[in-house]
Amino acid sequence: MQRRDFMMGAAALALTQPTMAAEIKDGGSRMIAVPGGMVWTKAVGPNPNILLLHGGPGFSHDYMECFEDFLPPAGLGFYYYDQLGCGNSDHPNDDKLWTIPRYVEEVEAVRKGLGLDHFTLLGHSWGGMLAIEYALKYPQHLSKLVISNMTASIPSYVEHTRAIRAALPPADRATLDKYEKLNKTDDPAYQAVMDKVYHAHVLSLKEWPEPVNRTFAKVNQHIYNLMQGPNEFLVTGTFKNWDRWNDLHRIKARTLVMGAENDEMDPAQIRREASLIPGSKLWMSRTGTHLAMYDDQQAYFGALVPFLKA
């Protein structure tokens, strides 16, 4: 056999044989089984060991995309995940699923699915409530905890939102009263007043960033209404009696509590929260709101990143 014929034959044979495939890249996204369905997760940055819990309930991870501009450049990898019923995750039609205990088990299933241990859990708003619950039930898995813009009690939260409402102009309070009595909180006049509240206490930027708008456009209003209620002034949902003031002393993970002076969460309650968690650190935005990660961004991440790296 001529060498040329041999090489051609070998080449032809190679084309018919299976070869070792290169690793398929998927951008870090994967689905994980949790009680009730499948949830979407995504790894961002190097060696992720931080899990973000978005707010809501019923919202999605999208508004937290600003973390990409601060954590990976500092060498901090993290995971997004959309809670069940939200965003890219399954949307089962079963109201028995929307409970705090099941969501805690969901977080634990995500932890196992991602192979995390001695990890950092960062929860914002409702995600902060969920982070507190997880820290109380599964302390052995946590290294650090960040509670961002969340008080330790819904009844205490309601006290503060009542004060916010009482400070509104009389005409705005009358509009709220009128449409609440009519059970028409979706009326444009009612929503116009709520928009004023949101710009004063949720996000003060004149133009809201695209990821924030995308989050509000994707909200699962059914879950939000079932667990919280129609809005910040009408907390009628299933978690209306949630209160953990007396349990904060049991949190053992190194903790950073973050708040803002103009938040819909009472700054005094945020300070109290930090004082009750042993050894915790407190950061308060002097100018920001509930989304201080945007409207006091440099200061927010200026406090968060060093804590995560320490």
Residue 125 annotated to the active site: yes
Report the alpha-carbon distance of residue 112 to residue 27 in Å, rounded: 20
Number of other residues whose CB lies within 10 A of the CB of residue 15: 8
Catalytic, 263? Answer yes
* Contact (CB, 8 A) for 41 and 30: yes
User: Any bridge partners for residue 33, and if so which?
Assistant: 38
82, 263, 266, 296: the catalytic one is 263
Distance CA 106, CA 304 (A): 25
Inter-residue contact 296 to 66 (CB < 8 Å): no
Distance CA 157, CA 263 (A): 11
Phi, psi (rounded to 5 degrees) for 151:
-75, 175
Q: What are phi and psi of 187, to 5 degrees?
A: -65, 140
* 3-class secondary structure, 71: coil
Tell me, yes or no, if 148 is annotated catalytic.
no
Of the candidates 33, 18, 252, 275, the residue with the CA atom closest to the CA atom of residue 145 = 252
Q: Which amino acid is at 13?
A: L
Strands 29-34 and 37-44: antiparallel
Of 60, 89, 125, 285, which is the active-site residue?
125
Question: Cis link prior to 18 (omega < 30° from 0)?
Answer: no
* DSSP calls for 92-139: ---GGG-SHHHHHHHHHHHHHHHT--SEEEEEETHHHHHHHHHHHH-G
Q: Which of 54, 141, 201, 290 is catalytic?
A: 290
Closest-CA residue to 203 (of 162, 194, 19): 194
CA 198, 262, 66, 211: dihedral to nearest 10 degrees?
0
- List residues with catalytic annotation: 125, 263, 290
